[in-house]
């Protein structure tokens, strides 16, 4: 099983790892796209005013331009530790022992805008780039990533997709791959936004701590029932509903 997570706009600064090595990231077939987007992001940072406009940054956020300018030289940390916010706080990878963290590294891909899907333990720097941003000199990110990511995911046995729609558009799961898209709902089936990220983080944490062997949606549903996780088939084909209380 591969689990696809969205990134977070907020990121932990700093790091102790070696500078970014694009070819060492998961799915190395995506290296050409990673090189193009990284080069464009670094180049854009040389003009702070233009970078602020393109990235839609407030005055308070302008320090993020420096992160982009030093993208290739700044220290790194594991992606699952780099991202912060509700989902990653609920996942709490930093509080896990080595074994569940290793499971995250084997099974979780975090879909970033500049690097595409990266492994949970892949070393990445701090950066600023959203899925809907168009970088000068490049096609829209969807045109850069969608086909390449779809091809890179081909061959996976089962993909559990927890991404937002913006990131799904940057790399749909191939039709040939068995997959399930997770939607967070109430018991009555109403979609939720407020608890969405937290519930997804808690789901991935539960998976990492129990480390089941899952190759089908049915196997995932059986695991969820055994763990007391309220996961059910949705009305739409290929959708699973993660049920939470309001």
Written in H, E and C, the secondary structure of 202-220 is HHHHHHHHHCCCCCCHHHH
Please give the Cα distance from 209 to 187 (Å, whole number).
25
Segment 145-164 mean pLDDT: 97
Look at residue 79 and tell me whether its pLDDT is greater than 90.
yes
Please give the Cα distance from 82 to 94 (Å, whole number).
10
- Write out pLDDT tens, residues 7-29: 999 999 999 999 999 999 999 99
> In which band, very low, low, confident or very high, does the pLDDT at 213 lie, cut at 50, 70 and 90?
very high
Residue given tokens 């089941």 in the structure block: 212
* pLDDT, averaged across the chain: 95
| Integer angstrom CA distances of residue 29 from 116, 127, 164 | 11, 22, 23
Q: Is the pTM of this model over 0.85?
A: yes
**What per-residue confidence (pLDDT) applies to 32?**
98
> In which band, very low, low, confident or very high, does the pLDDT at 66 lie, cut at 50, 70 and 90?
very high
Segment 166-187 mean pLDDT: 95
- Write out pLDDT tens, residues 102-124: 999 999 999 999 999 999 999 99
Segment 124-153 mean pLDDT: 97
| Integer angstrom CA distances of residue 88 from 13, 19, 200 | 15, 23, 9
**What per-residue confidence (pLDDT) applies to 190?**
72
Share of the chain above pLDDT 70, in %: 98
Please give the Cα distance from 227 to 207 (Å, whole number).
9
Total tally of structural domains belonging to the chain: 1
Segment 214-234 mean pLDDT: 97
Look at residue 65 and tell me whether its pLDDT is greater than 80.
yes
**What per-residue confidence (pLDDT) applies to 17?**
92
According to the 3-state scheme, what is the secondary structure of the chain?
CEEEECCCCCECCCCCECCCCHHHCCCHHHHHHHHHHHHHHHHHHCCHHHHHHHHCCCHHHCHHHHHHHCCCCCCEEEHHHHECCHHHHHHCHHHCCHHHHHHHHHHEEEEECCCEEEECCCEECCCCCCCCCCCCCCCCHHHHHHHHHHHHHCCCCEEEECCCHHHHCCCCCCCCCEEEEEEEECCCCCECCCCHHHHHHHHHHHHHHHCCCCCCHHHHHHHHHHHCCCEEECCCCCEEEEECCC
> In which band, very low, low, confident or very high, does the pLDDT at 147 lie, cut at 50, 70 and 90?
very high
Share of the chain above pLDDT 90, in %: 94
> In which band, very low, low, confident or very high, does the pLDDT at 227 lie, cut at 50, 70 and 90?
very high
Domain interval for residue 156: 2-243
**What per-residue confidence (pLDDT) applies to 192?**
64
Distance, CA of 225 to chain centre: 26
Segment 196-217 mean pLDDT: 96
Please give the Cα distance from 50 to 56 (Å, whole number).
10
**What per-residue confidence (pLDDT) applies to 195?**
82
Segment 171-180 mean pLDDT: 97
**What per-residue confidence (pLDDT) applies to 186?**
86
């Amino acid at each position: 099983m591969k689990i696809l997570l969205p990134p977070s706009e907020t990121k932990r600064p700093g790091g102790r790892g070696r500078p970014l090595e694009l070819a060492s990231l998961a799915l190395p077939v995506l290296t050409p796209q990673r090189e193009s987007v990284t080069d464009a992001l670094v180049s854009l940072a040389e003009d702070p005013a233009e970078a602020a406009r393109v990235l839609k940054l407030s005055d308070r956020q302008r320090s993020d331009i420096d992160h982009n300018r030093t993208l290739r030289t700044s220290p790194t940390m594991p992606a699952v530790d780099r991202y912060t916010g509700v989902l990653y706080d609920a996942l709490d990878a930093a509080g896990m022992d080595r074994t569940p963290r290793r499971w995250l590294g084997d099974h979780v891909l975090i879909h970033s805008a500049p690097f595409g899907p990266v492994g949970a333990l892949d070393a990445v720097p701090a950066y600023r780039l959203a899925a809907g941003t168009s970088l000068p000199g490049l096609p829209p990110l969807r045109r850069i990533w969608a086909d390449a990511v779809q091809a890179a995911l081909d061959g996976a046995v089962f993909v559990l997709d927890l991404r937002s729609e913006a990131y799904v558009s940057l790399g749909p799961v191939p039709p040939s791959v068995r997959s399930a898209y997770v939607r967070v709902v109430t018991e009555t089936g109403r979609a939720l936004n407020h608890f969405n990220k937290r519930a997804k983080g808690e789901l991935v944490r539960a998976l990492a701590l129990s480390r089941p062997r899952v190759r089908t949606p049915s196997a995932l549903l059986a695991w969820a029932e055994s763990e007391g996780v309220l996961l059910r088939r949705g009305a739409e084909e290929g959708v699973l509903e993660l049920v939470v209380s309001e």
